[in-house]
Structure 1
Amino acid sequence: MKPTTTTTISALEVVNDLIPKLNAVEHHIEQMINAVLETSSVPNQIERYTKLQVEFQLELTMIRMNLSHLLKRYRHELETVMNDSRQDVLFTLDAYEAMAVENAKQLYDRVQRLPQG
């Protein structure tokens, strides 16, 4: 099923908010799941967290694949705004990019609500 959402995002938001949050989510998930897998001796818990790890990796892969398309399409504009934040522009997202941005934000929010150690 092809998504139909179209939206915009600023170059600065991509560079200063979206990408750093996605990287933080990936790092946090990796640390949390690895800690559980290394310390747990309960088979059900190990199985549950192994499945969770696969689900998160799949979701992150889908998000990164679609964001990669966005970064390639607007690479010159992104380079410009990284050198001079006053040159911020709005990017028009295709349906898949818009879905990736929304999914990245939702994933970040989900991870923020996870119990901390």
Structure 2
Amino acid sequence: MKSHATTISAVSVVNELIPKLDAVEHQVEQTISAMLETSQLPRQIERYTKLQAEFQLELTMIRMNLEHLLKRYSQELAAVVNDPRQDVLLTLDAYEATAIENAKQLYRRVQALQTQGVT
């Protein structure tokens, strides 16, 4: 069986992945807090409370795996922060690749949740 290594550029990690993950975390908190504030039915409150816990667990798992990536490539990432021209491709392990894919899926879920009528 042929194995394909998943990669991401160091610039993408610094300029896109980390800021977007921070934004998703903020969106999750704001969106679900707004839903909880406007919910009046106990079933809705229970549903949104569980959803909030699911999102927080997912974010925690994503952050743990990305922390591993940041530690493994700390020198490369520091170099890119100082000079984006020093961009390199970082090879992701299976957990890191899954974390990045989960972050993308979480972003899509939060976007869908926001379009359900949260103001």
TM norm. shorter chain > 0.5: yes
Q: Which residue of 2 aligns with 1:74?
A: 73
Runs ≥4 residues deviating over 6 A: none
Identical aligned pairs, as a percentage?
73
User: Secondary structure at 1:48's aligned position in 2?
Assistant: helix
**Against the structure 1 CA distance between its residues 106 and 5, is the aligned structure 2 distance closer, same or farther, given a 3 Å change threshold?**
farther
The correspondence of residues 50-65 of structure 1 with structure 2, limited to 5 A, is 50-65=49-64
CA distance in 2, matches of 1:69, 1:30: 24
User: How far 1:33 sits from its partner (Å)?
Assistant: 0.8
Aligned letter for 2:8? I
Give a deviation string over 1:58-82, Cα, whole Å, max 9, x none.
Answer: 1111100000000000011111001
**One-letter amino acid matched to 2:80:** V
Count of residue pairs the alignment pairs up: 114
Query: Structure 1 regions of 5+ residues with no counterpart?
Result: none
Pair 64,103 (structure 1): closer, same or farther in 2 beyond 3 Å: same
Aligned to 2:104: 105
Please, what is the CA RMSD of the aligned residues? Answer: 1.5
Give 1:109 deviation, angstroms: 2.1
Report the counterpart of residue 39 of structure 2 in structure 1: 40
> In structure 2, do the counterparts of structure 1 residues 5 and 66 end up closer, same or farther at CA, with 3 Å as the change threshold?
farther
Q: Which amino acid aligns with 1:22?
A: L
| Residue of structure 2 in register with 1:86 after alignment | 85
- Cα distance in 1 between the residues matched to 2:65 and 2:33: 26
Following superposition, the deviation at residue 5 of structure 1 comes to 6.9
Q: Distance in 2 between matches of 1:68 and 1:91?
A: 14
